[in-house]
Amino acid sequence: MKTVHPLLWLTEPLRENPTYLDRPMFGGRAVYYDGRLVLFLVMKTEPWRGVLVPTERTEHAALLAEFPVLAPHPVLPKWLYLAESAASFEREAQRLVGLIRALDPRIGVVPESARAPKTRKRGRVRK
């Protein structure tokens, strides 16, 4: 029997969209919406217990102003973190999902595999 991730309930408002996808990643669940990685749900020990919000660093200030409970993740600071222990966790996580559903451009990153391939420098052929 497959276990359901304990935070996957947060994504219910997104699931009706055909672009929604969630899949396992590093012991958590990666959530994709409209071709972007928008959430990483994880329930391990702190600081890996809550919701990571993939976003570009240029968007941090605007999101932190709107969501003071968010903070750059202590291990992965390019993403913002909403700790499950926060008193307002459910409400703030649902607000984030609402922004994702509305396609807020501040949230999400294009997955590495979807980016244009990097050109390789031509090296010498070894014999």
Rounded CA separation 23/20 (Å) = 10
- Contact status, residue 30 vs residue 40, Cβ threshold 8 Å: yes
Look up the pTM and report it.
Answer: 0.85
Domain boundaries, the chain: 8-109
pLDDT in the model for residue 111: 86
Residues 65-89: tens digit of each pLDDT: 999 999 999 999 999 999 999 999 9
> Which residues on neighbouring strands pair with residue 50, listed in sequence order?
42, 83
Residue 125, pLDDT > 60, answer: no
